Amino acid sequence: MRATLRRGLCTASQLSHVDGALPKMVDVGAKGETRRSAIAEVAVRFPPDIYAGIFGVRLSPKPNPNPKPSPNLDSRPSLGRNPDPSPNPTPNPDPKEGQALEAAAGPKGPILATSTIAAVQAAKKTSDLIPFCHPLPLERCDVQYERLSPDPNPGVRIQVTAACSGKTGVEMEALTAASVAALTIYDMCKAVTHDMHIT
């Protein structure tokens, strides 16, 4: 996850949470309530074989430009999710991919269901974690997942949309929820691999 300051360098006097040398909570009492919303995204990437095993992607080999005859292997028993191993596997579209993604489970249980619960809990607890965030009455915290194609490794994109009616923005709630969702996926899968990358 990446945050970018687009207005260039700033001084301490321009930071609303700094009063001289001391931090402070911004007074939003004079502001009117408006509808606020924010979207945050984060990606978790896995080694291809681990991703296939956890998230149920069927893998097929890349086309061979010089195919060679091979014996009939139809009678071989299928082992696992990848009966046709290849040194260069690529995802093969499957109409059940969406269902498999949501149904993914690891040693600790359902991965994305747990991640969703963690994200919503984190959004509601943002003001307890970030010192000068105002407590907000969240009206929405929606968590969506999407497969990511290998770049170089496959993964899952998490998108969190947070919204409320209030006097201050809700972007910290969205960012916190997305961060905790990604960390939860890591925690749910670390018994299988530590080679995960969160961006």
pTM for this entry: 0.71
pLDDT digits (tens, 9 = 90+) for 47-101: 999 999 998 764 444 455 565 554 443 443 433 334 444 444 444 444 445 567 8
As a whole number of angstroms, the distance between CA 146 and CA 155 comes to 9
Name the band, by pLDDT with cuts 50, 70 and 90, for residue 120: very high
- The catalytic residue positions are 187
Percent of the chain at pLDDT above 70?
68
As a whole number of angstroms, the distance between CA 196 and CA 146 comes to 17
- 187, with CB counted inside 10 A (0-12, 13-18, 19+), is middle
